[in-house]
Amino acid sequence: MGNAPSAEASAFRIITGMGLRVIRQHPINTGRHVYFADLYVPSLHLVVEIDGGYHSTKAQSRLDRNRSSNIRRLGYHVCRLSNRDARNREKVRSKIQAMANRLAR
């Protein structure tokens, strides 16, 4: 990979390029756990999680679902992107725009 930007850095640049403020590694305290969101878009109350290859295992997938559920209970919205999708400008823009449109209703 060499100098290739991380998926998180790519998604960060794409989302900020949409004119949205983004916070990296935003802490979310559920009372029992403190999670660190890969990216957080305050104006949408949106947590963006970037999932690497290990997220496709059954065990990790279950943990991810529990984590997302715990975060949603606090009123956040959660959007999950694969590493590959996080590097794709159109996929990130499309997913974030769709979430923004849904939340505006």
Q: Which residue segment(s) compose the domain that 29 sits in?
A: 7-104
Query: Is residue 76 domain-resident?
Result: yes
pLDDT tens per residue, the chain (105 residues)?
344 469 999 999 999 999 999 999 999 998 888 999 999 999 999 999 998 755 466 766 788 788 888 899 999 999 999 999 999 999 999 999 999 998 877
Residue 6, token pair as written in the block: 């991380």
Query: Is residue 81 domain-resident?
Result: yes
pLDDT at 1: 39
Query: Is residue 1 domain-resident?
Result: no
Query: Is residue 30 domain-resident?
Result: yes
Query: Is residue 20 domain-resident?
Result: yes
pLDDT at 2: 44
What's the total number of domains in the chain?
A: 1
pLDDT at 3: 45
CATH code for the domain in which residue 93 is found = 3.40.960.10
